[in-house]
Amino acid sequence: MFVNVIQSFHGSYEQNLDKFVDFIINSQDIIIAPEVFATGFDYQNWQKANAFSEVILNRLLSVSKDKLIIWSMIQDNQNIAYAIKNHQIIHKRAKYNLFGYEKKYFHQGTKPHIFYIDGLKCAILICFEIRFIKYWLELQGVDIVFVPAQWGQPRKHHLVTLSNALSLSLQSYVVVADGVNHVGGVIFWDEEIRSDVVRTQIDLQRISKIRKKFVLE
């Protein structure tokens, strides 16, 4: 199974969406983009950013056949993460733990939880939510944790450290897409987070092999 991570978006709403759609078309299996990848936190054009969510969803649903696509976007005054496949919405959740100016503009969503896709146990932690250890405990047994992010540059080291620690703690794959620091990639056990666009093949059987070593007698 391949996981495809893209981080850099610097154009208009439409240009950013076109770039992601092209990336999806040329990728396979699982594709993830950063938090609010198309619009960024465009508070000065708040209504426009909210309205563009309909364009994003329709475009991504149209190219989602046989591909699992993960991203987040501004919609209905929330920061909503989506997982879609085969032209259908598999999972949808608005960000619960808001940070900084998000508390002024966004309505709070629901707490992270496990969802299932093709027999896989998955979860999405939206950016800042990865800091909360209580979620790590609740996500025990998950196969893949997706982290779409726009992480602050002064705390880049925190994102890298937390992502690696989360993978070690859960013995799960962690897939990070951060649009600010060009940090991202697939992390599992002895693997390290990488930068820029990443296409990686993952071996889900490694999860059970690693976990068997740590079963308490």
pLDDT digit string (tens) for 148-196? 999 988 888 999 899 999 999 999 999 999 988 776 778 887 666 655 5
How many domains, in total, are found in the chain?
A: 1
Which residues constitute the domain of residue 178? 2-204
Q: Within a domain: residue 62?
A: yes
Q: Within a domain: residue 211?
A: no
Q: Within a domain: residue 215?
A: no
For residues 217 and 104, what is the distance between their CA atoms, to the nearest angstrom? 49
pLDDT band at 47 (very low <50, low <70, confident <90, very high): very high
- From the list 43, 143, 56, the residue with the least C-alpha distance to 92 is 56
Q: Within a domain: residue 124?
A: yes
CATH number at residue 176: 3.60.110.10
Angle (CA) 193 27 72, round 5°: 65
pTM for the predicted model, two decimal places = 0.94
Q: Within a domain: residue 214?
A: no
